[in-house]
Amino acid sequence: MNCRLNDSMEQFVIHVPFRLTGIIRGIPNLEKNLVRNPSKTILIPLLLLALVLGACGNPETPVPTETPTLVPTIAPTATQSSPLALLVLPADLDATQSNRYQTAVYELAQAAGYRFQVRNTLTAADLDPSVKIVVVLPPDPGLLALAASAPQAQFLAVNIPGITPAGNVSVIGQQSRPDLVGFLFGYISAMITTEYDYRIGMVAPQGDPNAQVAFAAFKNGMIYYCGSCPKTLYYFDIYGNDIQYPQLVEIPADEKKELYPAYGNLLVEKKVAMAYVYPTIATPELTNAIGVNGITGIGDVTPNPRPLYWTASLQPDVVKAIQAAWPDLLAGRGGLTFNPPFALIDVDPNLLTPGKQQLVEQVLADLLAGRINIGIGQ
């Protein structure tokens, strides 16, 4: 059976095949009943319409199977490695100092979003494009040539002799302030020996002008603490001479180092209770002899092994200098010099108690800021 609507949609034209007429005629009594009851003839169109509509549906359209769409694989774009900060220090560096440097630079790198690595040596192969900051301690690995080969990086030389600031190389200088160190040690020595009538002294190399400056400042530091420093007793040497403090024991420049401990014994003869040992003659044997004799010691560098009664040491705080230099290194500014401030290290709290140390730290801050006149024209 075919069904169609004409173009005007006004007639529904049905073509009934002959077999449908036969079907109607083949139904018992259907044709006869229709003739006898003409009123029922209206059912014929409805019946035909029902039959036609049941057969007029479009042929079944197969459901198309879905063809998978190939999604192109997008390879991730390679991202540049995060910036890298290197710390180069010798393998035999004191463990405490090494850990302090590593911790400081690591924290600075992390705060800036940098990666951090430690090297014991440095070569051009270590300086890939991701390296942005390199902090180098002695010995010199050929820093100037390495810096020239890695212009994308900023280099910070820490106390490396012969390195001058230029280009992408900055330096942390070596602080040499015998006046400041001598003054502060005179102040500390007077503070600790108050109960011992301020019987303080210094061991220094003979004829060294810096050591002479340090001793003059040492005396002024004592006076700054105690004024006229009144004594409760009078002290005499083995010859019956009145001893005035501070005392100075000088070691001749040509003296053999193995004889240095004997000069510690001179401090005993001069009844010194506390002594500053100048760094150029502060051998472990001398500082040990001073401690064994019951004399409290102090100096620029803590001896190894640490002697008895060693109060503290005063060193340039390189870590603070690195922290001060870091913003310029991050900003790519080179050719700069950073002078480290001094700091007390290796303090024995039994000798320099926390309260006394707080006073010393304040005096040190005032010295560095120029608020205290050391009094020797420095």
At 168-217, the pLDDT tens digits run 999 998 778 999 999 999 999 999 999 899 999 999 999 999 999 999 99
Confidence band of 377 (pLDDT split at 50, 70, 90): low
Position with higher pLDDT, 107 vs 64: 107
Q: 178-309+348-369: which CATH architecture?
A: 3-Layer(aba) Sandwich (3.40)
Res 376: pLDDT:
83
- pLDDT exceeds 60 at position 72: no
pLDDT of 54 strictly over 90:
no
pLDDT digits (tens, 9 = 90+) for 287-315: 999 999 999 999 998 998 999 999 999 98
Q: Token pair of 163, please?
A: 């390195």
pLDDT at 372: 95
List the single range of 93-102, 196-205, 270-279, 354-363 with lowest mean pLDDT: 93-102
378: confidence class by pLDDT, cuts 50, 70, 90: low
Mean pLDDT over all residues of the chain?
A: 84
Q: Would the pLDDT of 118 be above 70?
A: yes
Of residues 73 and 270, more confidently modeled: 270
**Segment 119-154, tens digit of pLDDT:** 999 999 999 999 999 999 999 999 999 999 999 999
Q: Which residue has the higher pLDDT, 272 or 16?
A: 272
Res. 3: pLDDT tops 70: no
Q: Do domains 84-172 and 178-309+348-369 have the same CATH topology?
A: yes
Whether 117 has a pLDDT exceeding 60, the answer reads yes
Q: Which of 63-67, 267-271, 338-342 has the lowest mean pLDDT?
A: 63-67
Q: pTM for the whole thing?
A: 0.68
For 322-340, the pLDDT digits (tens) are: 999 999 999 999 999 999 9
Domain boundaries, the chain: 84-172, 178-309+348-369
pLDDT given at position 51: 45
- Between 19 and 103, whose confidence is greater? 103
Residue 115 has pLDDT above 80, yes or no: yes
Please report which confidence band the pLDDT of residue 1 belongs to, taking 50, 70 and 90 as the band edges: very low
Which CATH number, 3.40.50.300, 3.40.50.2300, 3.30.450.40, 3.20.20.80, labels domain 84-172? 3.40.50.2300
Residues 255-279, mean pLDDT to the nearest whole number: 95
Q: What is the 3-class SS of the chain, one letter each residue?
A: CEEEECCCCCCEEEECCHHHHHHHHCCCCHHHHHHHCHHHHHHHHHHHHHHHHHHCCCCCCCCCCCCCCCCCCCCCCCCCCCCEEEEECCCCCCHHHHHHHHHHHHHHHHHCCCEEEEECCCCHHHCCCCEEEEEECCCCCCHHHHHHHCCCCEEEEECCCCCCCECCEEEECCCCCHHHHHHHHHHHHHHHCHHHCCCEEEEEECCCHHHHHHHHHHHHHHHHHHCCCCCCCCCECCCCCECCCCEEEEECCCCCHHHHHHHHHHHHHCCCCEEEECHHHCCHHHHHHHHHCCCEEEECCCCCCCCCCEEEEEEECHHHHHHHHHHHHHCCCCCCEECCCEEEECCCCCCCCHHHHHHHHHHHHHHHHCCCCCCCCC
Instruction: Give pLDDT, residue 238.
Output: 84
